[in-house]
Every structure is written in structure tokens, then in C-alpha cells.
Homo-oligomer: A and B are copies of this chain.
Amino acid sequence: MGATKTDHFTANQNELAVLAKALGHPARIAIMEYLLKVDACICGDIVNELPLSQPTVSQHLKELKNAGLIKGSIEGNSICYCINEPGLEKIKGFFEHITVHLEKKRNECC
């Protein structure tokens, strides 16, 4: 054992988990915040913004990209990363869904 039993859950549950997991590291939260702070998408200098080595940052970027939270396009010598909205919408929808349900049920509970 040790591996997540993804085949026992729905595709939607697995998708949401992948998105949430990708954000489950402070460096990756920091990357998202940085991409948001600078004007539009930015090429390079993410490494300089983080207290981690270049290979480590590259790995975190790859994970965010695999999860569908950012996208990167080659821009000459460097790569232009920016937030990928569809991925973001998906996970945002989950929280909105929860909030709507909770509002309906307010005060029925502990």
C-alpha cells in the first residue's frame, strides 16, 4: 500500500484532488500569487522570487502545469508562464458549490 486508490473515486473527485494537491505547497501558492501580482504573465525571474533552487522551482512549475493551473509558452530564450483560467474555474466552482449548500443549511447543525 501507500499509493492513493484513485480508481475508487469519481473522475470529478480525482480532478479536484489533483488541483488542490497542486496548491498544497507554499512554494506553489507563492508562484500563483506572484503570477497574479506582476502584470499579466511573466517570463523568467520566478526563480529569483523564491527561496528555492532553480531545479526545485522548475519542478514546482511543472506540477502546477500538469494540474492545469498554469500554462507556459516559449518566448524566445525564456518561457512565459501565466495562470490557466479553466483549471482555476474548476476548483473555484467546488468552493462556490460548498458555500451555496452551507448557506441553505445554516443553523441546522453543531
Contacts and interface: CB of A to CB of B under 8 A. Distances in A.
Given A17-B28, A23-B20, A24-B24, A99 B92 contact: yes
A27 B9 contact: yes
Interface of A: 4-6, 8-10, 13-14, 16-18, 20-30, 32-33, 36, 39-41, 51-52, 71, 73, 80, 82-83, 85, 88, 91-92, 94-99, 101-102, 105, 108-110
Contacts of A29: 9, 13, 16-17, 20, 94
* Number of copies of chain A assembled together: 2
A66 to B, nearest CB: 13
A108 to B, nearest CB: 4
Given A9-B30, A29-B16, A82 B98 contact: no
